Amino acid sequence: MFSSLLALVAIVPAFVNAQAAIYAQCGGIGWTGATTCVSGASCQVLNSYYSQCLPGTATTTVGTTTVGTTTVGTTTTTTTVGTTTKTTGTSSAPTGSQTPAAGNPFTGFNVFVPPFYASEVTAAAANITDPTTKAAALEVLNIPTFTWFDQVAKVPDLGTYLAAASAQGKSSGTPSLFQMVVYDLPDRDCAAAASNGEFTIADNGQANYFNYIDQIVAQITPFPDVRVVAVIEPDSLANLVTNLNVAECAAAQTTYLACVTYAIQQLNTLGNVYSYLDAGHAGWLGWPANLQPAANLFTSLYKSAGSPSFVRGLATNVANYNALVAASPDPITAGNPNYDELLYIEALSPLLTGFPAHFIVDQGRSGVQNIRNAWGDWCNVKGAGFGTRPTSNTGYTAIDAIVWVKPGGECDGTSNSSAPRYDYHCSLSDADQPSPQAGTWFQEYFTTLVTAANPPL
């Protein structure tokens, strides 16, 4: 399976008579549509996976770029991702500083507490009658949590949050840092039993995603004084390491790579957005057989994107339950020497040659261990508690910060088998039931996270 990792073949587009309209796609790996543009526009390469008809002219020099080699056992696969094209002409990409600040991007900034999650927590605390539990729940209001932008409709809120973060920074004299999750790939969650994404590849998904990223860029641009830390597309790249045997993932591979590449390239132009690609967790990519293929994938994508200077590293354990450092191995981890996130990071880091080996680790629901029947159980696991508070004082040079990426209390998925987007994992015996739809508030689960928090709130 791993010898097929990143089996991207440079495909020469078939000859077509039609010409692509201004701003339409006109090339890229796997593209078989029009490769010339209407009068007044030229086909300009934005990255190896996507060329677009933009106003103006371009001079093109084409050559082959090899971005990575995967070796597993006795099989070696060299991955060629397409052509390298230099263009001149009009570009829609914003401009910004290409020199990131030295050191940990969290240092010297106050992490902004997102108002939407704060409103959810406030409402949840009001529904708790026990005064001790209520007081503990209200402590969550002071803990910074990432904001997920999993629909285009939520993107305009980003500007509102950044304006508030900017004002707070100016008022306090210490600049603000805003934490966000970019999460709207077409055919998202390709290996899940049910996808909750809004875009499909078959229905203009890639172009829709590019527009989604463009809207995010437009919201961030007016606030260069706010530092942004972005986790890029949870689960996406990890699926390309281990799940290419799943038809939906094999079909989505090229699109996922194109979209993630576009996201990190466009965010890189802003000069204040530090990106961490999602890297699954110890129970997924931490298995010894998965480490080198994962490192190859991250490095290859990074280099083919032009090694964007504001890609800071990788995010692990997003929305999962693994400890950073486990007191002892959970029985479900038997056979994997990398049974916690630190062991996973220490095993992966030396393999990331040419990729920035810095990490952030989600501990938002990792306060209680040994509560799952299997390592792959992810949906509203019973008995989970809030974990270690976010901090940049991690004690490990490779780990920039412990963070809370998953907003505790927002449901992972519904246990109602007749409901839309039902996933059977939400009906397993170690999943808290009954549970509402993904993303909606799960009051009982939030209360458990509060009461089981370790350290206590």
Which pair of tokens denotes residue 357?
Answer: 């080996």
358 is in an annotated binding site: no
Catalytic residue among 400, 412, 423, 432: 412
Nearest CA-CA partner of 298 in 207, 210, 236: 236
Q: Is 303 annotated as belonging to a binding site?
A: no
Residue 125 phi, psi dihedral angles, 5° rounding:
-65, -35
Known binding residue 208? Answer is no
Residue 287 annotated as part of some ligand binding site: no
150 is in an annotated binding site: yes
- The C-alpha atoms of residue 267 and residue 311 are separated, in whole angstroms, by 9
Which of 184, 189, 340, 400 is catalytic? The answer is: 189
Give the integer Cα–Cα distance in Å for 146 and 319: 11
Q: Is 350 left (phi over 0), alpha (psi -120 to 50) or beta?
A: alpha
Active site residue 412: yes
Which of 82, 110, 70 has the alpha carbon at shortest distance from 11? 82
CA atoms of 332 and 284, how far apart (whole Å): 12
Annotation says 235 is catalytic:
yes
**Rounded distance, CA 330 to CA 332, Å?**
5
23-60: b or e for each residue (b if 16 or more CB lie within 10 Å)?
Answer: bbbbbbbbbeebbebeeebbbbbbbbbbbbbbeeebee
Choosing from 184, 235, 362, 432, the catalytic residue is 235
The amino acid occupying position 38 is: V
Bridge partners of residue 42, in order along the sequence: 54
Burial-class residue 86 by CB neighbours within 10 Å (0-12, 13-18, 19+).
Answer: exposed
Among this protein's residues, is 400 annotated catalytic? no
Label residue 77 exposed, middle or buried (CB < 10 Å: 0-12, 13-18, 19+).
middle
- Say if residue 284 carries a ligand binding annotation: yes
Residue 330, annotated ligand binder?
no
Q: Was 31 annotated as part of a binding site?
A: no
Strands, E assignment, 183-326: 227-232, 273-278, 311-316
Query: Annotated binding site: which residue ranges?
Result: 148, 150, 281, 284, 320, 378, 406, 410
Query: Annotated binding site for substrate: which residue ranges?
Result: 148, 150, 281, 284, 320, 378, 406, 410
Catalogue the active-site residues. 189, 235, 412
